[in-house]
Structure 1
């Protein structure tokens, strides 16, 4: 199924790559783009979100959307293909054949912060789940996860969290399109020690922050995962 937001993103991407909008230049505002494509601002927002994930544009509150100043055609790739490091398979799928279990530390709901609502493209009054859990692979600590997810996406229970959230979403017919990830190193906190991610304070831990979205362009998850340094590595297949 061809979604309108992808059509808009594809056209804007071509215009940026062709040099119509130079690095640092503003692109038309959302109302103008919506008028040009005979669609809604929500659809345009989703298209721009996709280009932000790809690193082509950025948004300045109250000002507009701009082509990233460091963007060049050399940064371009085949955006139809997502490398393994960028595709949000989840711990269960990436550890097939192994016993993946979870210890649920929190499942609650609250009103999102302004930043969370903006990232998830939801009204500021729409509740979000707050999820904390420790993942284990073959009985060994694999990761600690802190996730924010709109309650409108699906109904979550402790039983689901003890298994696979992504598996549950897919069983409901929701297709996961991709994710924007920031990978960084950090020093272990007291929480990391308590959750078994680190042995002592200050020990290195691997951290992945991500914003994931469905195939209709709707962001569905803001997550931070923390991994023990001893068993953590990242593999990326880069196609030029």
Structure 2
């Protein structure tokens, strides 16, 4: 690589190699020092990348033997999203498809009581009210309805919304994205789902309601995302720490 890769980028590359069979299931990953040499980065950065893949349930490490690819890793769908995944649609699919956005709404307004509570705002703090349809190549993937504080986002233009809000936050505003709280449910398609996601009235949609925080703990997004039933799922990984009572 031409420059030092970030650990998230390295994790994406290794993940794709696993899903594509470049690294066979049940086999060993290359040693960390060899990966560090390939990506022209430090071993610590490689370890952070592997922590992501371990958390996603793709790999596991055995002391003295190395890091192995789990036998079911290749069966994980590219459209599956980890329950802990909050990197954003553009980052999630950047090596798999062209992500495009159709902006249906981008307005400044005052928050309602629920938004004030979730985003820790006063009733006079302005928010952006954003609705976007996200496409993978030309296929509709989801409808995102996001409410975000103007005091954090600054001048949020349509050009930014057509690309990645998260990339704008991290690369232009120098914020670091932290944790997220998610609520996942199934719902019947509404008129907007039927129009933009091409859902039949009998087909369910997957709804993800989330509040996302900066590393400082300040909430910067309250959103509801609605997916076609056949365009992915939310996965959760039990890392083996559960105990029967």
Category of TM-score, reference length = shorter chain:
0.5 to 0.7
Secondary structure (helix, strand or coil) at the match of 2:227 reads strand
Task: Give the Cα–Cα distance (whole angstroms) in 1 for the partners of residues 55 and 122 of structure 2.
Answer: 29
2:201 equivalent in structure 1:
201
Task: Give the Cα–Cα distance (whole angstroms) in 2 for the partners of residues 124 and 82 of structure 1.
Answer: 38
Q: Per the alignment, do residues 176 and 190 of structure 1 end up closer, same or farther by CA in structure 2, a change over 3 Å counting?
A: same
Task: Give the Cα–Cα distance (whole angstroms) in 2 for the partners of residues 136 and 107 of structure 1.
Answer: 18
| Residue 159 in structure 1 maps to residue 153 in structure 2 | no
Task: Give the Cα–Cα distance (whole angstroms) in 1 for the partners of residues 189 and 83 of structure 2.
Answer: 23
Task: Give the Cα–Cα distance (whole angstroms) in 1 for the partners of residues 114 and 180 of structure 2.
Answer: 17
2:220 equivalent in structure 1:
220
**Structure 1 residue 197, shift from structure 2 partner:** 4.7
1:130 equivalent in structure 2:
129
1:186 equivalent in structure 2:
187
Contact 1:144–1:197 under 8 Å retained in 2: no
Secondary structure (helix, strand or coil) at the match of 1:167 reads helix
Alignment of 1:12-27 (within 5 A): none
**Structure 1 residue 139, shift from structure 2 partner:** 1.2
Q: Per the alignment, do residues 197 and 88 of structure 1 end up closer, same or farther by CA in structure 2, a change over 3 Å counting?
A: farther
- Of residues 89-98 and 211-220 in structure 1, the stretch that sits farther from structure 2 once superposed is 89-98
TM-score (norm 1): 0.63
**Structure 1 residue 201, shift from structure 2 partner:** 1.9
Contact 1:117–1:124 under 8 Å retained in 2: yes
Task: Give the Cα–Cα distance (whole angstroms) in 1 for the partners of residues 109 and 93 of structure 2.
Answer: 32
**Structure 1 residue 134, shift from structure 2 partner:** 0.2
Task: Give the Cα–Cα distance (whole angstroms) in 1 for the partners of residues 202 and 127 of structure 2.
Answer: 31
**Structure 1 residue 237, shift from structure 2 partner:** 2.3
Determine which of 86, 89, 114 is the counterpart of 2:87: 89
Contact 1:141–1:196 under 8 Å retained in 2: yes
**Structure 1 residue 82, shift from structure 2 partner:** 7.3
Task: Give the Cα–Cα distance (whole angstroms) in 1 for the partners of residues 55 and 151 of structure 2.
Answer: 27
Contact 1:189–1:202 under 8 Å retained in 2: no
Alignment of 1:131-150 (within 5 A): 131-150=130-149
Aligned residues: 159
Contact 1:102–1:162 under 8 Å retained in 2: yes
TM-score (norm 2): 0.62
5+ residue gaps, structure 2: 1-53, 57-81
1:231 equivalent in structure 2:
231
Secondary structure (helix, strand or coil) at the match of 2:152 reads coil
Task: Give the Cα–Cα distance (whole angstroms) in 1 for the partners of residues 145 and 165 of structure 2.
Answer: 13
- Of residues 188-197 and 202-211 in structure 1, the stretch that sits farther from structure 2 once superposed is 188-197
2:170 equivalent in structure 1:
170
Moved over 4 A (4+): none
After superposition, the CA RMSD in angstroms is 1.6
Secondary structure (helix, strand or coil) at the match of 1:93 reads helix
Task: Give the Cα–Cα distance (whole angstroms) in 2 for the partners of residues 82 and 212 of structure 1.
Answer: 19
Contact 1:197–1:227 under 8 Å retained in 2: no
**Structure 1 residue 87, shift from structure 2 partner:** 3.2
